Amino acid sequence: MTGAQPNLPPDAPIAELAVLVRRMVEASGEPDGFSAEAWLASWLEEACPALGGQRPADLLRAPEGVTRVRQVLLCMQSGAYL
């Protein structure tokens, strides 16, 4: 993965989430020059209203947090509001 890495434990599922984002972008019409990895690294560090204002990176330390982050990403693709 290229770009800045969030401060996460080594076993955090960043690669898995990056694959998910890449698939979402491909399904939506992949724009030229878009880096799923760079976007994900940035998004993980920003407060997310759908996560109660928490940073997604803060939730990746527990399996249930990973599930919540994955759900938010999938809702982004479908346009569903949380």
Would you give per-residue pLDDT tens digits along the chain (82 residues)?
A: 444 455 555 556 888 999 899 998 888 887 788 888 899 999 999 999 999 999 999 999 899 999 999 999 999 888 777 6
Q: With contact defined as beta carbons under 8 Å apart, do 78 and 69 qualify?
A: no
The domain locations on the chain are 14-78
Q: Whole-prediction pTM value?
A: 0.77
Distance CA 71, CA 24 (A): 13
Q: Which residue has the tokens 């993965």?
A: 1
